[in-house]
Amino acid sequence: MAKKKNKPDFSRPKEEALEEKKQKAAEKAGAEESDFITPGAVNGITIAPDGTVTATGDTDPEDAEYDGLPLVVIAGRPNVGKSTLFNRFLHHRVAIVNDQPGVTRDPVEATAIINGKPVHLVDTGGYKLTRDIGTKEAELDDYVVERSLDMIDRADVVILLLDAGEITGEDEEFIIKMRPYWNKLIAAVNKTEGGKNEAEAWNYAKYGFNELMLISAEHGDHISDLADAITSRCDFSKVQVLSSDRPIKIAILGKPNTGKSTLSNRLTHSENSIVCDYAGTTRDVVEGEFEYAGRRFKVLDTAGIRRKAKVHDDVEYYSVNRAIKTLDECDVVFLMIDAVEGLAEQDKKICSLAFEKGRGIIFVLNKWDLREEQDNKAIKSVREWMNIMFAHMDFAPILPLSALEGKGVKDLLNTAIEMYGQLTKKIGTSSLNNALQDWLERYPPPASKTAHFKIRYMTQQSVNPVSFIIFATRPEVVPEPYVTYLKNRIREDLGYDMIPVQVEFKGSRQKWEVRKAAGGR
């Protein structure tokens, strides 16, 4: 993006004018109370185009936060060594390993570095064919299978782990169930250490797998070959590092002449954005970087957004549309509102767009110093009024500011850091479903003879924007008040109280067609 510059002084050589401008900027920076903003970068994790991660600081790549990771799922019947393989890739024990079948029930998830590249690795519960129909144990087995199949559905790579011993009925049925996922499936026959059981293991070739390999999860035999097969199938182009090294991207939006450029210049210690009393001086998106409290920020100062009827020329039309597009690039929006003039229709439009995209939003009441009433009572009054105007955004912070005097800037940036923490927060599937069970018990779904539904489980689909999927039977009949209840519980109980949370309801999988009594096939 182009950086906007002040009009040059043509009365002297360009170099002389530029030197004087730098000197004045330095003097101004020294005179202001601005110790909280310094230039520079924070070392962390870097990622190459091929997905290879490198630690340039103290952070372990497995401990860093990522977005867009390929999803790699380990699937199979109980007790074939799924948890052992999971722990092997993590180089330490996370999943419980035991000879008793069915120890893993909830999917166990972690970031694993395979061949130097990060993936989202999932150890699923085992598929059980044999169950006592109608028992609590059978219901739990159905739940485990349903969760496992959902993970397989969403996976980029599926490792179908098989036992080198006798091929069982559960193996055969699970292989049949895997047919729709053949193109993303790697069949790995486990427990073949030192050439053991190789003849039996190759019996699986009759099923026509695209890729079949023999491994030992416990002893590490041929794990490097499996790792090569996994990473060769993964797309790492969308992987982003969300460690502290990544700058928090702030879009400063609002109608013309609300002080956007004044705030941008104060934050970045520059005069990249022209500031004057004439509305509409910023046309392009102006970028700048700064550091505060050990965190890097990138600020995007945008053109003021007017009502369509007031956009008079092609340049302004482009500028306004470019400003709106920054919503796709930013993490947090500073919605600048003139504290004297109040809200405009454009503010509502920006708010709706940011809400739809799941961006963090802070209502910034700029020029607060020009108001006659500036006490806490005045702030409370404005907050109550804005909560009425933006009922669906009553969680968004409302902060007074004087960009010209620098009052309120620290509170604004502290809030942005806290908000970014919520935007990038990932919650494990087990923790989510423990919370869901608590919410369902606290306030059970309303009973209805004609609109019966059952909520099964939930997963977190993404961070930044934060979104969840709740699986239910007949999701179309879940009452809107109950949807709102669950959204509020997610926001308040899981630590997302400052940001929009997107919740999608999906139909859970139908129960498995085959229902066999214990010992039967």
What's the CATH number where 128 sits?
A: 3.40.50.300
Query: Mean of the pLDDT values across residues 237-251?
Result: 80
Residue 186 and residue 64 share a domain? yes
Name the domain boundary from 232, 259, 281: 232
Inside any domain, residue 196: yes
pTM of the model: 0.64
Residue 201 and residue 57 share a domain? yes
- 80 a known binding residue? yes
Residue 437 and residue 416 share a domain? no
- 473 a known binding residue? no
Inside any domain, residue 185: yes
- 309 a known binding residue? no
- 261 a known binding residue? yes
Q: Where are the alpha helices (DSSP H) in 236-288?
A: 260-268
Q: Please give the Cα distance from 477 to 80 (Å, whole number).
A: 40
- 81 a known binding residue? yes
- The secondary structure element, H or E, covering residue 389 is helix 376-389
Residue 214 and residue 176 share a domain? yes
- The secondary structure element, H or E, covering residue 473 is strand 467-473
- 439 a known binding residue? no
- 79 a known binding residue? yes
Residue 402 and residue 285 share a domain? yes
Residue 416 and residue 274 share a domain? yes
Query: Mean of the pLDDT values across residues 498-508?
Result: 91
- 301 a known binding residue? yes
- 192 a known binding residue? yes
Whether the Cβ atoms of residue 234 and residue 258 lie closer than 8 Å to each other: no
What domain range is 452 assigned to?
Answer: 429-507
Inside any domain, residue 248: yes
- 302 a known binding residue? yes
Name the domain boundary from 204, 232, 260: 232
Residue 180 and residue 251 share a domain? no
- 125 a known binding residue? yes
Inside any domain, residue 227: yes
Residues 345-381 pLDDT 10s: 778 888 888 999 999 999 999 999 888 776 777 778 8
Residue 456 and residue 409 share a domain? no
- 136 a known binding residue? no
Residue 190 and residue 103 share a domain? yes
In the structure, what pLDDT confidence band is assigned to residue 138 with cuts at 50, 70 and 90?
low
Q: Please give the Cα distance from 395 to 507 (Å, whole number).
A: 29
- 366 a known binding residue? yes
Question: Which pLDDT value is given to residue 283?
Answer: 38
Residue 150 and residue 271 share a domain? no
Inside any domain, residue 339: yes
Which amino acid is residue 295, in one-letter code? R
Q: Which of 98-102, 104-108, 360-364, 469-473 has the lowest mean pLDDT?
A: 98-102
Which domain CATH number covers 461?
Answer: 3.30.300.20
Question: Which pLDDT value is given to residue 234?
Answer: 96
Domain count of the chain?
Answer: 3
Average pLDDT of every residue of the chain = 78
- 385 a known binding residue? no
Inside any domain, residue 513: no
Inside any domain, residue 464: yes
Residue 442 and residue 347 share a domain? no
Question: Which pLDDT value is given to residue 509?
Answer: 56
Which amino acid is residue 206, in one-letter code? K
Neighbours of 293 (CB within 10 A): 11
- 2 a known binding residue? no
- 304 a known binding residue? yes
- 496 a known binding residue? no
Residue 278 and residue 390 share a domain? yes
- 420 a known binding residue? no
